[in-house]
Structure 1
Amino acid sequence: MVLLVRFGELALKSRFVRRQLRDRLVANIQDLFAAEGVECITEADEARVYVHVDDVAKAHAILGRVFGVVSISPATEVHSDLESLRKAVLSEASRALSPGQSFALRPRRVGTHPFTSQDLARDLGEAVRQAHPDVRVNLTQPDVEIHVEVRRNRGFVFREIWLGPGGLPLGSQGRALAVVRDEAGMVAAWMGMKRGCRIAVATSDGEALVEPLRKWDVRLKVLGLPPDGNLGELVRIARAEAIFLGTR
């Protein structure tokens, strides 16, 4: 199974910066999968990361903790010709539709093809209607949505879109030190991580308080907070460019 991984703010950057951020995102995905002992194969283009996995449920849980991921869809991949797309859509419709239900086709096309997105919607929608005469089309509030994404010579058919955490890839926006004494400090650290900062945590409460953050950063560095609260040496060790205090 292939999971389509979409990234959001990365698309607003220049091509060079976008490639750097995307490569960081891919590296972070690989780190979290390796930490969980789940095998995956990753590839990427200018707009998507493709994660090939055997265990979709575990992969979903992992990708839901990767900053920079906006959404995820488990998809069936086929060639981009109409016949292959038609077969995949009919297979998806057979699994998803029940008599009396309504459906909608949501096509998206990138690149040059001998058909338009409207052509896809008409052709594939009619194929579903002929195969399932007891269902109807409803483009505004369908019971079932079938998405078709064509990217060059690759076609992807899917129904589900799972939300990710968003933000920017961890480690793409410099380093920071987060002082974690309580839940507010942990939230501040998490928010800094979501904005792409590589966070080092300073705490006097040991690993237990910051353990939830390790689910988001397998390379999390934890430093002991000195009794006098002086952060100078910790800033040097962490090479921090900012400090998150998490005060209420």
Structure 2
Amino acid sequence: MKLIVKVFPEITIKSPPVRKKFIRQLGKNIRTVLRELDADIVVGGVWDNLEVETRLTDPKVLQGIRERLSCMPGIANFLQVAEYPLGDLDDVVAKCKLHYADLLPGKMFSVRCKRAGRHNFSSMDVEKYVGSKLRMQCGAAGIELKKPDLVVRMEIRDQRLFVGS
């Protein structure tokens, strides 16, 4: 299981050296708190978020990890994701279908994409393309941007695609 952990906005507005120090400390704190559940947990950091990865599959342990992260200071939110290499937009649709095809029939949904790095498309382009394809291929009731029944979440960072699960 892989989680993307977003830090508090108060951390992101700090100067670069202070921000780096705070994120490094948050990573150490996460490792310390989760080491009891998984001694081999991996916490890696990037500029604006952290990635937490475990190889364990026991649902009780995974729920324990989510519970501990939800009440840690410095964490704004986190998202459980599946990581894939970034292909073309049709490949992005295929990866999203793997995770959301069973949930979409009969529901109003929206697609949210965050993107970092250089690409020949914008986040809005991805949202429109993936949304239209999922609507046609998965039997969704329609697209509702303001109050959807389901939100299809993804993040594109450089040449990696993270699909929320």
Q: Report the TM range for the smaller structure's normalisation.
A: 0.7 to 0.9
* Separation in structure 2 between the aligned mates of residue 39 and residue 145 of structure 1, nearest angstrom: 32
Deviation digits for residues 21-61 of structure 1, max 9, x if unmatched? 00000000011112345541111100110001234312101
Kindly state the Cα deviation for residue 116 of structure 1 after the two structures are TM-superposed: 0.6
Kindly state the Cα deviation for residue 91 of structure 1 after the two structures are TM-superposed: 1.5
Correspondence for 1:64: 70
**Fraction of identical pairs, as percent:** 23
Aligned positions, number: 158
The one-letter amino acid paired with 2:115 is R
Kindly state the Cα deviation for residue 65 of structure 1 after the two structures are TM-superposed: 3.3
The TM-score with structure 1 as length reference comes to: 0.60
Correspondence for 2:28: 27
* Separation in structure 1 between the aligned mates of residue 26 and residue 45 of structure 2, nearest angstrom: 10
* Separation in structure 1 between the aligned mates of residue 140 and residue 67 of structure 2, nearest angstrom: 36
Correspondence for 1:5: 5
* Separation in structure 1 between the aligned mates of residue 142 and residue 99 of structure 2, nearest angstrom: 16
Residue 111 of structure 1, aligned match among 114, 117, 120: 117
Whose radius of gyration is greater, 1 or 2?
A: 1
Correspondence for 1:122: 128
Change over 3 Å in CA distance of 1:133–1:34 after alignment to 2: closer
Kindly state the Cα deviation for residue 17 of structure 1 after the two structures are TM-superposed: 0.8
Deviation digits for residues 52-88 of structure 1, max 9, x if unmatched? 1234312101212321111011111112233442222
Contact conserved, 1:33 with 1:39, CA < 8 A, in 2? Answer: no
* Separation in structure 2 between the aligned mates of residue 101 and residue 138 of structure 1, nearest angstrom: 9
The TM-score with structure 2 as length reference comes to: 0.87
RMSD over equivalenced CA pairs, Å: 1.7
Q: Is there any run of 5+ residues in structure 1 with no aligned partner, and where?
A: 160-248
Correspondence for 2:83: 77
Runs of 4+ in structure 1 over 4 Å off: none
Change over 3 Å in CA distance of 1:56–1:139 after alignment to 2: same
Equivalent runs, 1:1-248 vs 2, <5 Å: 1-8=1-8, 9-37=10-38, 39-53=40-54, 54=56, 55-81=61-87, 82-98=89-105, 100-158=106-164
Kindly state the Cα deviation for residue 127 of structure 1 after the two structures are TM-superposed: 1.6
Higher RCO structure, 1 or 2 (CA under 8 Å, sep 6+): 2
Report the 3-state secondary structure (helix = DSSP H, G, I; strand = E; otherwise coil) of the residue aligned with 1:67: coil
Contact conserved, 1:56 with 1:74, CA < 8 A, in 2? Answer: no
* Separation in structure 2 between the aligned mates of residue 120 and residue 16 of structure 1, nearest angstrom: 33
